Amino acid sequence: MTDRYFDALYARDPDPWRFATSAYERAKYDATLDALPRPRFDAALEIGCSIGVLTRRLAGRCGTLLAIDVAAAALDQARLRCADLGHVSFRRSRIPEQWPDGRFDLILLSEVLYYLDPPAIARAATCARASLRIAGAALLVHYVLPTDYPCSGDEATDVFLAQSGLTPVLRQRTAEYRIDLLQA
């Protein structure tokens, strides 16, 4: 899916998935944070931060947090939502082509991989593995019901798992989403 797809989506609706108001999203964010393997991370990378609702919650557990997204309008909202958090930075980037430099203790890929095709997911997995510090973790969260995206949540996760070389240490599944924690 192109950057223009997401730019048009946010132009029509500043919160198209109701991240800021949905009880479902709040519960999923709670489960996401509960799945983290430790209380604090020196350096984290959030891929697909959207309007920054989860970013703000995750920031309290990070020394530094780099949050990226492809949609400029979403990033504008995320910057405003996290304006008082000096340790959080934002960048417009598309993965895997514009994978950020740096090494991270945590890489969070929430509701993002299924927008990529399998070869791009495989490249993202390789980039994630190379960016993780020793004992770092990658946390994947994906919707599992039918969509019109290039991959299903299950397919995207399976491709990432197969390519990353990371060890799955936690797998949780609800009727609507799955959470997979991988360790370097």
pLDDT in tens, 17-69: 788 889 999 999 999 999 999 999 999 999 999 999 999 999 999 999 999 99
Per-residue pLDDT, averaged over 154-166, amounts to 97
In CATH, which superfamily holds the domain spanning 3-183?
Vaccinia Virus protein VP39 (3.40.50.150)
**Domain edges within the chain:** 3-183
Range 119-122 contact pairs with CB under 8 angstroms and sequence separation of 24 or more: 120/95, 120/96, 121/151, 121/156, 121/159, 121/160, 121/163, 122/159, 122/160, 122/162, 122/163
pLDDT in tens, 131-142: 999 999 999 999
